[in-house]
Chain A
Amino acid sequence: MTIIQIADPAWETTFPHRVEARPEEWLGGIFLRCDEDNGWDSGTTMTTFVRALHLDKTARSMSLVLPPASMDLRPLAGWLAVSEQSLLATTYRVELSRLYETPHPHPQLFSAGIGVHFCPACMAEGRMLRRSFLLPHVCCCSRHQLRLQGVCACSRSLVPPKTGFAILDSLAQVSYEAGVLQKWFSPGSQPFTCRACGLDWAHFPRVEADPKLLVREQAILAWYDFFFSTGTLHALNQAVQMVRRTLEQRQSKSIKVLSGRLSQVTFSTAEKTSLGRLVEVLVSLRLSPDMIEAEEPAVVWRPMNRQVFYCSLPDCPHMRSNSTSCEARRNEP
């Protein structure tokens, strides 16, 4: 529904200002854009949504990456007069459901990041929060080749108040120097701003990503793309098997993962394997999706432009024995 006229009953059931999902946008971004367009505090739409569904406070941003069965998106679809499908497309529920062959995959199967990661350039261009920013191990914006941000440096220039206890004072100092960790939804703040100083996320520093990091990021995204676009449980199984074979060949159970530390790799079954963890191991082992695709059996094919058959009679008047064409004998002199 592109435009709602005042004569339409939907006028009363929709928010004053509507937003619609954009390709590759994350659901959390839609909540925040809805807050911003309507002039509400950060998290107002989210709070209204949680209340409407009678959800408890555990329904946090994680649920917006992979909404559980209890998170019915229909109220939000009604308030914005958009289709429920368009909202579902801003999560990974459909992709994960297909991949794990279950209607409601468990959030732990994804192990998506719940921390705030946004690209300042994407923010400036149209408040775009890509759902790919929520994928585990993704830390760059592939479009702008910038590091994703999530911490405001506003507290670094401040001196924490003294408590008189050395330990507490030093902890406060460390906390101030670490900066202010951003939250997706901060009641009392404007959407898309630092909850402490109010700095717009679009004005956060734009740090260029290291080329090596970008290469690694491409490898990570290639795996996600493979699993989300064509993946099934079979593909997941194949990936797990490939990891096992590679580890057997290397005669090792531990590998150096993306964070740089050594980690022991143990996968039980594909159904219980976290996608984030699997992708981390696959990239750490320098495996790529085409290795799985190469293992796929070739599809049987046959021409369909002409009916071809053999005749079993040795003296067939129409065809030569074992010929594939009935025209063969006709054309004989």
Chain B
Amino acid sequence: MTNPSHRPPFAPQKVFLETAFEQRFQGLLRHAWHNRSWHVIAALPGSGKSLGIQDLVLRSGARKQATGITSLPVVAIRSPKNTTREQALGVALCAAFGTVPSMNWQVRRTWLVKAMARAHVECIIIDDAQDLPLPHLAFLKELTDNLAALPYQRQVGLCLVAAAIGDLVPFKETFAGPEMLWRQFRRRMDAERPYCIIQGQTEEEMRHILTTFEEIYRDQFPGLRLHRWTKPIFTWLTHPTLDPDATGRVTMDALTRFVTGALRRAYEQKAMDVNETMLEATAELMILRRDEVVAIDDVLAEEFPQEEEE
């Protein structure tokens, strides 16, 4: 049993939760991987897209053996920012393989095709794809076409993972354009689910997450029973401030920040569980005082672990 008077500073837990959203999201990524299909996948910012991609890559079986054999079934990169040059995307894709010597762009673009074929790449995932400019999309098409052609003949899945605003899916209108490149892109998209929006957590799904949080924070809060507050938390987190598109769903980022904030507050009060006051205060901070400007006129007190005195 933890003694509240001698507790160490509050330690937020950083773990990946395989939530219902992640199951839906990773399920689609796996579908693209195994069927070599092309999709544009959108979800609200803060849903957990990047963490989901990272988790998928970590469990994809990528490895480098000392015998020269390297396997990288899923290549995941973030879309290069502030540049429209195709080299930027090429360099980002090369970096996914590790350290690559400097070489001119023409050599590198040829090498990249060869490297992807040799490492048995089966799926390419581009995170933050809403930022991809036309030259990057054209390069992706060229790259995958080269892999599909002789001598490699490797079909590769492609997932453009983007942040969505409301029901708008990035690229849908672009790919509907009459230009040849977009027509070619459209032809390569998956026939059944070319454009997908992954929905956030429902109230019931959120209840499971809260129960999981109870387990994760059991060491610090032996009496924690978060799931009792599912209804009010869901109501707060679907407030128009946090859910401006009125999706009626909760994002993982908002939920995690809410729970961490409430637990920190409870911890400071040496409580073993959260109560209504703490949750309301946290909700007020996140909803009503979200954009409040705070004047800082003092040194912020940081919590550092205290060394135990003998």
Residues of A within 8 A of B (CB): 1-7, 11-20, 33, 37-41, 44-45, 47-48, 79-82
- Complex contact B62–A6 (CB within 8 A): yes
- Complex contact A14–B98 (CB within 8 A): yes
User: Can you name the residue of chain A whose Cβ is closest to the Cβ of B115?
Assistant: A16
- Complex contact A39–B60 (CB within 8 A): no
Which of B63-71, B77-85, B198-206, B210-218 is near enough to bind chain A?
A: B63-71
Given contacts A18-B67, A81-B64, A81-B66, 11 further A-B contacts (CB under 8 A): A2-B65, A3-B65, A6-B57, A13-B98, A14-B64, A16-B97, A18-B64, A18-B66, A33-B68, A40-B111, A45-B101
- Complex contact B65–A14 (CB within 8 A): no
The answer for the CA separation of A47 and B102 in the assembled complex, in Å, is: 10
A-B contact pairs, 8 of them (CB 8 A): A6-B62, A13-B98, A16-B98, A16-B119, A17-B68, A18-B66, A18-B70, A39-B115
Residues of B within 8 A of A (CB): 57-58, 60, 62-70, 72, 95, 97-103, 107, 111, 114-115, 118-119
Beyond A16-B97, A16-B100, whether A2 also contacts B58 by CB under 8 A is: no
- Complex contact B62–A5 (CB within 8 A): yes
With a cutoff of 8 Å between Cβ atoms, the chain B residues found around residue A13 in the complex are 98-99
User: Can you name the residue of chain A whose Cβ is closest to the Cβ of B62?
Assistant: A6
In the complex, the number of residue pairs spanning A and B with C-beta atoms less than 8 Å apart equals 77
The answer for the CA separation of A145 and B68 in the assembled complex, in Å, is: 29
With a cutoff of 8 Å between Cβ atoms, the chain A residues found around residue B99 in the complex are 12-15, 79
With a cutoff of 8 Å between Cβ atoms, the chain A residues found around residue B67 in the complex are 18-20
- Complex contact B65–A15 (CB within 8 A): no
With a cutoff of 8 Å between Cβ atoms, the chain A residues found around residue B119 in the complex are 16
The answer for the CA separation of A83 and B220 in the assembled complex, in Å, is: 43
The answer for the CA separation of A44 and B64 in the assembled complex, in Å, is: 20
Out of B68, B100, B103, name the residue touching A18 (CB < 8 Å).
B68
Report the minimal beta-carbon distance from A33 to chain B, rounded to whole angstroms.
Answer: 8
- Complex contact B98–A12 (CB within 8 A): yes
Out of B60, B66, B100, name the residue touching A6 (CB < 8 Å).
B60
Beyond A40-B101, A44-B101, whether A17 also contacts B111 by CB under 8 A is: no
Report the minimal beta-carbon distance from A79 to chain B, rounded to whole angstroms.
Answer: 6
The answer for the CA separation of A81 and B98 in the assembled complex, in Å, is: 12
User: Can you name the residue of chain A whose Cβ is closest to the Cβ of B118?
Assistant: A39
- Complex contact A5–B66 (CB within 8 A): no
The answer for the CA separation of A15 and B66 in the assembled complex, in Å, is: 11
Report the minimal beta-carbon distance from A220 to chain B, rounded to whole angstroms.
Answer: 33
User: Can you name the residue of chain A whose Cβ is closest to the Cβ of B69?
Assistant: A17
